[in-house]
Chain A
Amino acid sequence: MEVVVLLLDGVWAALQPTNLGLAFLGVVIGLFVGAMPGLGSVNGVAILLPFTFVIQEITGTISSPMIFLAAIYYGAMYGGAISSITLGIPGASTAVATTFDGRPMALGGHAEKALVIAAIASFAGGTISNIIFTGAAPLLASVALKFGNPEIFALMLLAFATFIGLGGDDVPKTIISICFGLVMSAVGFDIISGAPRLLLFDSTEWFSRGIQFLVLAIGVYGIGEMLWTINSTRDSFKMTEANITLARVWQALKSFPEAWRGTSIGSFLGFFVGILPAAGATPGSLMAYGVTKMVSKNQEEFGKGRPDGVAAPEAANNSASTGAMLPMMTLGIPGSPTTAVLLAGMVIWGLQPGPLLFSEQPEFVWPLIGSFYISNVIAVVVNLACIPLFLKVLRMPFSILAPLIFVLSVVGTYAAYQNIYDVWLMLIFGIGAFLLRILDYPLAPAVLAIVLGPIAEPKLRQSLLLSDGSWMIFLERPISGPITIAAIILLLLPLYGFIRKRVKARS
């Protein structure tokens, strides 16, 4: 009951004109970055994070900047479908599965039906996951209050182990990416003793303040990804015209029950996949599509424009984005690059993410959760009302959008730290990220690692201080033990796969 009262208070706070305006603006920006091929929620939140300092300064609250960024995250999940359906190119990786049936539907002359189903399924996914989140988050936070240093470190180890064991990328390259991020987070000075360390190339001007998280994140997502998109999408996109009239939208709305199965599978499955570190919205939506197809009686119709095939991934990616917020808000451990950026934002605004957030900062937590509900409503309304407008915006040539994003990245990095060396470093990381991306090095783990590094290192060192240097502390304690064992199993998973392959090849 207490939760309901807190939630209603939160919704009321989120409905205040400033927060409502920010949620609206965030959703519109999110829809745009989600719809533009090459840009996703993580690009949106990383590039715009420096601008949230103004919001904090003007509003004087810490929940308002977060409401803005969370709204971008939400909007992007809706927006991805627009380009998947009309261009056949996913606007973001989270909307890859939406192309499978959304594109054939559009080519068959039913673009508006696909867009409406995507919007309504997204709304359903968002709402169902919000309800689960509201119930689960305070409970999980109260359990997590019992966690000490070894438990928190074990959880972080588990997050990285999931990337290695289940991430699906080249294992040594994933580990390099994680270690690079963790070592870069140690540059500047030792958090515990205060001693300067890793002043690379003896340059105090460049490295004495450490490497700021945003420098790497904007480098990777503002410069690296943009260069990669320019290099990989050379042909101009062909857009399917969508004939949107009120009557056709109404018709499409009435046909939504056809997609109930996909929507419900996507909503529930998406949430639980979203919670897992390294999983998140992209695998969530692909899995939801797969499961919906598997349980369907008309499997052969999938891929040809089946409403369930559009609804399942769209419900799942929205649901998974809320799911990914759960470990970030309650444990302080982000599971995806976007939530890593949100977590870094919370640190910059002066919050300490983790289980204490729920008991010590209710004036931050509940308006934010309230805003999830509000943003979801805004997103579905804006999405349905503005589909024709977004189709026009999508025609904006990339040769205008790309330089604008470059300028935004450079100016944003400078404005955040007011140091030109940081801007140069951002550019160096961006160019490096582009070259490494061609060679299949995953970069999301590095971004996650530079956020988690400053939290994980002291936890590890304090745990080892407590145990006089014995690693057994992680295995002996009742909560950290099972988590550490799970992490070790995940780390060994690729090795097991390798050995099994060898044995099979021999026999």
Chain B
Amino acid sequence: MRIAELVTAIAIAFFSLYLMWESGEGPSWDPTAVRFANIGINVNNEGPGSGFWPFWLSLAMLICSAMVGINWFRRKSVPSQSTERFLDTYGIKMFALVGGGLVAFLFLVGLIGFYGAIPIFLFYYIYFLGKHPWWLASIIGVGVAVFCFFFFDVAMRIVLPKGALEPLFIPLYEIFL
């Protein structure tokens, strides 16, 4: 937990620096704009520039991440005193299986669309991770996909992407849309 606390503080510090750098970028249509010319409080007598808000807030984030670092060094915050692991074996396994499952789910959406990915993800989670019977996992998986199709595509007319499965839906479009 102690290492994670420090690593996170450093990552936030770098991210804040990056945000400050990006905030200073002038508008794309003005190639002569000088970086950080837009962060002032009264730019060209027109009040604060476009980078004013994000720049100074990112600076506040940077200062606070340094304070988290100081608190870590002085062992003042709860995670910096903790001897527990950031994620124990169960946590790592859960994070890999569930988080990984979610990432795979979104990749699958890109390949075979929502209606192919939803039953696969639900079956994976309910059957393999939840250890429920295969028939229950299948019913829920297919049921949710069918419900989503009628709710989104048919009732709301929000067409969810179908990826490679698009041809299978053409007959359904003809019936319902």
Q: Are B47 and A462 in contact (CB under 8 A)?
A: yes
A389 beta carbon closer than 8 Å to chain B: no
* 29 intermolecular pairs with C-beta atoms under 8 Å apart: A54-B156, A171-B67, A172-B68, A175-B64, A176-B68, A179-B57, A179-B60, A197-B50, A197-B51, A198-B22, A198-B23, A199-B22, A230-B98, A231-B94, A400-B126, A403-B122, A406-B102, A407-B118, A407-B144, A415-B158, A415-B160, A420-B110, A423-B109, A431-B99, A434-B95, A436-B8, A439-B8, A464-B48, A465-B48
Residues of B close to A199: CB separation below 8 A: 22
Q: Which residue of A lies closest to B66 (CB)?
A: A172
Query: Other than the known A399-B126, A411-B152, what 17 A-B pairs have Cβ atoms closer than 8 Å?
Result: A54-B156, A175-B60, A176-B68, A179-B61, A193-B50, A195-B28, A198-B23, A399-B132, A403-B122, A404-B144, A407-B144, A411-B148, A414-B114, A420-B109, A423-B109, A439-B79, A461-B48
Q: Per-position contact with B for A190-201: 1 when CB-CB < 8 Å, else 0?
A: 101101111110
Show the binding face of B for A, using Cβ within 8 Å. 1, 4-5, 8, 12, 18-19, 22-23, 25, 27-29, 41-42, 45-48, 50-54, 57-58, 60-61, 64-65, 67-68, 71, 77-79, 86-87, 90-91, 94-95, 98-99, 102-103, 105-106, 109-110, 114, 118, 121-122, 125-126, 129-132, 140, 144, 148, 152, 155-156, 158, 160-161
Residues of B close to A469: CB separation below 8 A: 41-42, 47-48
Interface residues of A in 383-404 (CB under 8 A from B): 397, 399-400, 402-404
Q: How many residues of A contact B (CB 8 A)?
A: 61
Q: Are A439 and B102 in contact (CB under 8 A)?
A: no
Residues of B close to A136: CB separation below 8 A: none
Residues of A close to B132: CB separation below 8 A: 397, 399-400
Interface residues of A in 145-200 (CB under 8 A from B): 170-173, 175-176, 179-180, 182-183, 186, 190, 192-193, 195-200
* Known contacts A227-B95, A415-B156, A464-B41, A179 near B64 by CB under 8 Å: yes
Complex CA gap A57/B158 in Å reads 13
**Which one of A197, A223, A411, A435 lies within 8 Å of B25 (CB-CB)?**
A197
* Known contacts A223-B102, A402-B125, A195 near B27 by CB under 8 Å: yes
Q: Which residue of A lies closest to B12 (CB)?
A: A176
Q: How far is the CB of A111 from chain B (nearest CB, A)?
A: 28
Residues of A close to B86: CB separation below 8 A: 438-439
8 cross-chain pairs, A with B, having the tightest CB-CB distances, nearest first: A399-B130, A465-B47, A469-B42, A403-B125, A190-B50, A195-B27, A172-B67, A172-B64
Q: How far is the CB of A159 from chain B (nearest CB, A)?
A: 15
* Known contacts A172-B65, A179-B64, A414-B114, A438 near B130 by CB under 8 Å: no
Q: Are A468 and B42 in contact (CB under 8 A)?
A: yes
Interface residues of A in 409-436 (CB under 8 A from B): 410-411, 414-415, 418, 420, 423-424, 427, 430-431, 434-436
A234 beta carbon closer than 8 Å to chain B: yes
Q: How far is the CB of A29 from chain B (nearest CB, A)?
A: 15
**Which one of A171, A182, A438 lies within 8 Å of B57 (CB-CB)?**
A182
Residues of A close to B105: CB separation below 8 A: 406, 410
Q: Are A183 and B57 in contact (CB under 8 A)?
A: yes
Q: Are B106 and A424 in contact (CB under 8 A)?
A: yes
Residues of A close to B58: CB separation below 8 A: 179, 183
Q: Are A54 and B155 in contact (CB under 8 A)?
A: yes
Residues of B close to A438: CB separation below 8 A: 1, 4, 79, 86-87
